[in-house]
């Protein structure tokens, strides 16, 4: 695999923490970059693999199994293997850059292992709810979904990351209550240094 021509950045964290905004900004700033969003790999609403939360009569969209991660991984590999490295040596960056974002990105081990840098943006429950309640989802959140599903699944996922020492030691955690500008600058400045 020609991944040496690629520098892979993984941005994960709680729902509504600004992952996609940061990924998009990085993509705008970094030449030779491509961005892939895990959210684009959700299974269709009628897929039989979804897990129903009976008391809410609503699917649990917070599980890794609610997404086609095999497809995402295969898309990443295809990209890495087929995309030519046409960078200009006079530019700061002489590698192609792949930016991945998703709330369960590091739960998929094969994708997590591809990331040269891993960032995880955190929010506390109140901050997360304040942002989440303003967002429009398809399908929309049903009453009680955040309390019963979104937040407990996030805590469970974060605990799993914390307990996996090998993974935990490779992740930079960022406080999502900082401004989007600050979060972007923390990541961008580090990537710039690594690639210069």
Positions marked active-site = 39
Q: Which residue has the tokens 């900004």?
A: 25
Partners of residue 42 on adjacent β-strands: 67
Locate 128 and state its tokens. 């997360």
Q: Which residue has the tokens 């030449």?
A: 31
Q: Which residue has the tokens 């997590």?
A: 112
Locate 144 and state its tokens. 């009680």
At 75 the three-state DSSP class reads helix
Partners of residue 118 on adjacent β-strands: 10, 171
- Which strand (E) or helix (H) includes residue 120? strand 117-122
Partners of residue 95 on adjacent β-strands: none
User: Of the candidates 188, 161, 134, which has an alpha carbon nearest to the alpha carbon of residue 21?
Assistant: 188
Q: For residue 98, give every residue at least 6 positions away whose Cβ sits within 8 Å of its Cβ, in sequence order, or none.
A: 6, 7, 8, 9, 33, 34, 35, 36, 76, 79, 80
């Amino acid at each position: 695999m020609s991944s040496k021509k690629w520098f892979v950045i993984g941005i994960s964290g709680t729902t509504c923490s600004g992952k996609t905004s940061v990924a998009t900004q990085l993509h705008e700033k970094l030449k030779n970059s491509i961005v892939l969003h895990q959210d684009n790999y959700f299974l269709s609403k009628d897929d039989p693999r979804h897990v129903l939360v009976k008391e809410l009569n609503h699917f649990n969209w917070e599980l890794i199994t609610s997404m086609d991660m095999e497809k995402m991984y295969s898309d990443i590999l295809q990209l890495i293997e087929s995309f030519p490295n046409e960078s200009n040596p006079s530019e700061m960056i002489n590698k192609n850059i792949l930016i991945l974002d998703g709330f369960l990105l590091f739960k998929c081990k094969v994708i997590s292992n591809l990331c040269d840098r891993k960032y995880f943006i955190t929010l506390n429950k109140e901050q997360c709810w304040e942002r989440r309640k303003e967002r429009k989802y398809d399908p929309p959140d049903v009453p009680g979904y955040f309390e019963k599903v979104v937040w407990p699944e996030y805590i469970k996922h974060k605990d799993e990351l914390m307990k996996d020492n090998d993974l935990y030691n490779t992740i930079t955690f960022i406080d999502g209550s900082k401004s989007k500008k600050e979060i972007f600058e923390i990541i961008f400045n580090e990537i710039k240094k690594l690639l210069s």
